[in-house]
Amino acid sequence: MADASLAAKSEVMSLFRPPIVRSASATLNRALFSKTIPIAAARIANPKNISRFRKLLEKSEELAKLERITNIQLDPDPALAQRGGKCMLLKPEIKPEGTNPTTWSAVLQEAVKAEEMRVIPYNLTLDYNYWTYHDIMTSLLPEDAQEEIPVGFAIVGHVAHLNLRDEYIPYKHVIAEVLIDKNPTIRTVINKVDDVGTHSEYRTFGYEVLAGPDDMNVELSEENCIFKFDYSKVYWNSRLQTEHKRLVDSFNPGEVVCDVMAGVGPFAIPAGKKGVFVWANDLNPDSYAAMVEAINRNKVRHFVRPFNEDGHTFIHHAADSILNLASTHKNTISIPAKRVFNAKASDPVPPPTILTIPQTISHFVMNLPATAIDFLGSFNGLYHGHEQLFEPHTSTKLPMVHVHCFSTKSEDNVREGIEICERISEKLGYVVKPGDKELVIHEVRDVAPKKRMFCASFRIPSEVAFRERRAR
């Protein structure tokens, strides 16, 4: 009995699967996905009774439960439908009048007997628009290519960015077509054709357009900030949104953050919005231009200052320029007060808010995982000659560094932690090891089967910060 029940259930489920449309030429014919399923429907004599019978049929478990389709439809009789007649779709196991009334519950039998309802045949037509992306791919792709149907892709504005494995390359155009069909916000689909950084030193990559216009000028929102840029010329990774938020949440309003490899500003702009002073730098002129646009668009120019320099040079430049602001009494900014809504013209203008920029940096962000650790040597001598500004002379601590990097992938990340500390130690000229106070190695995300991205956070040792500066 149990086997028969499972077989019947499987047969019913198969009714709602798309037609198998294998395509040797890897082309998409949407018309082939139309499928008509003969079921039964409950025609209600008095439309006022629909709500009552719907509850009764839900309770008797005879009402159809369909994804993306409401079970109340217009009557299949055009004349009745024109007058507003409706019917309720029933499960495939329920048969219409004149076939097998033993499939009916007492509710159906009594309602039909009382002429309040009829159980009629109903042809349920499902077409290409009904099926999901996964449904279509399962139907289209050969069985030997279905072990892992491509579902992971990054969305950057209106662009879907694929990184297809070799076995899916013959089907790349049909995959892209279906993605656009099933995702209304996507207009362009691209596939990466080389690794990030291969195309240029600015972390851009070569790509091919699989569907839609070759339009890489995107606009997107992250953490209530708007960014607009040419995706073919700058680095952006939507999968880092959680990491952006994690670090920005750790910054306090009024602190100074130095973003050494800022890109278009995914750390800098949200931090500026919460009142953090950010010195934000990127070597790529296009990233710098997009960051300037984002600063103005998001109204954070009082807090975020953009730079277009080499990261090694910028680390010392940022520290020195902030010290210089204090020594020249240029470390205050005046932020005009917002006028009260519906304020009268004669009302006095509220005074501006005066903020003071601290003379030392609280955090350095280094989000260039392929090579950021190589820049750590530039922290040598960062605050040489300014020991009196920090503990134990004051309550101010030396800056925290948040450096992103890649390493191997294991279950416990123990060997990765050791390896990352060894690389940091080599560049700092100071031994850093797992278990050190204030050292945290955070797992960010997997980037490949044997590759993982990490963020190592540590406070700059005084032995490093107060050394004499040395040329790189």
Binding-site residues from annotation for S-adenosyl-L-methionine: 244, 282-283, 310-311, 367
Please check whether residue 136 is in contact with residue 178, taking contact to mean a CB–CB distance below 8 angstroms. yes
Taking each helix axis from N to C terminus, what angle separates 133-140 and 172-182, rounded to the nearest 10 degrees? 150
Beta-ladder partners of 365:
259, 402
Q: How far is CA 189 from CA 156, 204, 214, 267, 353, in A?
A: 10, 17, 9, 26, 46
Characterize 28-47 residue by residue with b for buried, 16 or more Cβ atoms within 10 angstroms of its Cβ, and e for exposed: beeebbebeeebbbbbbeee
Enumerate the H helices of 183-335 as residue ranges. 241-250, 268-273, 285-297, 311-327
Give the pair of three-digit tokens for residue 157.
Answer: 């504005």
Give the pair of three-digit tokens for residue 359.
Answer: 């003379």
Full DSSP string of 311-325? HHHHHHHHHHHHHHH
Beta-ladder partners of 39:
122
Q: Which residues are annotated as a binding site?
A: 244, 282-283, 310-311, 367
Please check whether residue 257 is in contact with residue 365, taking contact to mean a CB–CB distance below 8 angstroms. yes
Please check whether residue 267 is in contact with residue 222, taking contact to mean a CB–CB distance below 8 angstroms. no
Beta-ladder partners of 124:
37
SS3 content of the chain, % helix, strand, coil (to 5): 35, 25, 45
- Residue type for position 340: V
Cis peptide before 392 (omega within 30 of 0): yes
Please check whether residue 430 is in contact with residue 465, taking contact to mean a CB–CB distance below 8 angstroms. no
Enumerate the H helices of 298-382 as residue ranges. 311-327
Please check whether residue 35 is in contact with residue 125, taking contact to mean a CB–CB distance below 8 angstroms. yes
